[in-house]
């Protein structure tokens, strides 16, 4: 078990020697997804950042001094373990999730397993850019965040992907960014279309046009998109039967030409000289 000792987890060598660093296996580091463009990897980093504290009071200071004794104590932030169920990805919970753990109200009795679930209510959001009403399950925290940012579109465009987290929110954000980037808004009135575009125009400085095209995709979707674009770059695939047919016709034409040539040659020159020319080993190859 010599190799286990070398692993950084079993030795205290995290920051000392980078030689001992062995990266964890991940689907972005090997396999097909290794060839994904940088724009997608940038988005994936944004998604995997540490989210803001929702279900606990965060510890922001690293050290704390005891006022009486003067002893310095190190602190650390450990958030509770969260679960993101399927219903989370269908709604807009505003970063809230399910907590799994134990409650222990009576100290002399055994502890009780418990799930803490946020209160959900079915409500409506209006996206000004897409001109669309959406009914989903929401928490009160979502409404507070929308009010804080003065609108649903501003809330989506100002918060990073790690805080939105749910599939629905990321998909709507992707649609909004794409429609702004292409300048294809669904409003019928041209005056209102320009007015809406001008209010949300300044967000395009933050997001690059290449970055937008890869924004909000899952890994398997991104791989699908990459493969599709590669096929598109190669052009339409020609079936082999057309190619073989062309070759065959070419061969037949050549054969026919070859039959005609020797007759002409025989008529112009003598038969013997033609045989010698063929057998002559010193002839230059044209």
Residue with smaller CB distance to another protein, 24 or 232: 24
Identified binder of another protein from the candidate list 1, 102, 232, 259, rule CB under 8 A: 102
Which three-class secondary structure state does DSSP give residue 115? strand
Q: Apex CA 133: angle with CA 129 and CA 135, to 5°?
A: 135
Residue with smaller CB distance to another protein, 113 or 235: 113
Of residues 8-27, those binding another protein (CB under 8 A): 9, 12, 14-15
Give min distance, CB of 106 to another protein, in A: 8
**DSSP designation for 283:** P
Q: What is the 3 state secondary structure string of 144-162? A: HHHHHCCCHHHHHHHCCHH
Identified binder of another protein from the candidate list 17, 35, 144, 274, rule CB under 8 A: 144
Give min distance, CB of 230 to another protein, in A: 38
277 Cβ contact list (under 8 Å, min separation 6): 283
Of residues 47-76, those binding another protein (CB under 8 A): 54-57, 74, 76
Identified binder of another protein from the candidate list 33, 36, 92, 96, rule CB under 8 A: 96
- 271-279 and 240-268 helices, crossing angle to 10°: 130
User: Residue 146, interface with another protein (CB under 8 A)?
Assistant: yes
Give min distance, CB of 10 to another protein, in A: 10
Q: Specify the length of the chain in residues.
A: 286
Q: Which stretch binds another protein (CB under 8 A): 134-142, 165-173, 202-210, 240-248?
A: 134-142
Give min distance, CB of 68 to another protein, in A: 19
**DSSP designation for 81:** P
> How many other C-beta atoms lie within 10 A of the C-beta of residue 50?
8
Burial 256-280 (b: 16+ CB within 10 A, else e): eeeeeeeeeeeeeeeeeeeeeeeee
3-state percent helix, strand, coil for the chain, nearest multiple of 5: 50, 10, 40
User: Residue 107, interface with another protein (CB under 8 A)?
Assistant: yes
Give min distance, CB of 127 to another protein, in A: 12
Residues forming the site for another protein (CB under 8 A): 9, 12, 14-15, 54-57, 74, 76, 78, 80-81, 94, 96, 99-104, 107-111, 114, 116-119, 123-126, 139-141, 143-148, 150-151
């Amino acid at each position: 078990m010599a190799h286990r000792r070398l692993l950084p987890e079993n030795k205290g060598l995290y920051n000392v020697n980078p030689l001992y660093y062995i990266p964890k296996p991940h689907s972005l580091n090997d396999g097909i997804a290794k060839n994904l463009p940088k724009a997608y990897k940038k988005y994936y980093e944004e998604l995997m950042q540490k989210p803001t504290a929702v279900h606990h009071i965060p510890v922001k200071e690293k050290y704390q001094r005891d006022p009486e004794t003067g002893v310095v104590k190190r602190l650390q932030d450990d958030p509770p373990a969260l679960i993101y169920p399927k219903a989370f990805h269908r709604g807009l919970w505003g970063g809230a999730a399910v907590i799994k753990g134990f409650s222990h109200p009576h100290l002399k009795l055994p502890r009780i397993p418990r799930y803490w679930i946020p209160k959900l209510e079915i409500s409506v959001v209006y996206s000004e850019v897409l001109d669309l009403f959406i009914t989903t399950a929401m928490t009160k925290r979502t409404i507070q965040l929308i009010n804080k940012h003065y609108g649903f579109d501003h809330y989506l465009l100002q918060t990073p992907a790690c805080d939105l987290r749910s599939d629905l929110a990321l998909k709507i954000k992707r649609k909004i960014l794409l429609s702004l980037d292409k300048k294809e808004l669904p409003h019928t009135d041209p005056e209102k279309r320009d007015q809406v575009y001008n209010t949300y125009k300044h967000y395009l400085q933050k997001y690059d046009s290449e970055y937008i095209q890869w924004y909000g995709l899952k890994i398997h979707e991104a791989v699908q998109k990459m493969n599709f674009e590669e096929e598109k770059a190669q052009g339409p695939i020609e079936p082999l039967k057309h190619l073989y047919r062309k070759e065959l016709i070419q061969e037949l034409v050549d054969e026919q030409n070859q039959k005609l040539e020797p007759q002409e040659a025989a008529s112009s020159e003598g038969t013997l000289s033609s045989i010698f020319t063929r057998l002559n080993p010193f002839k230059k190859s044209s």
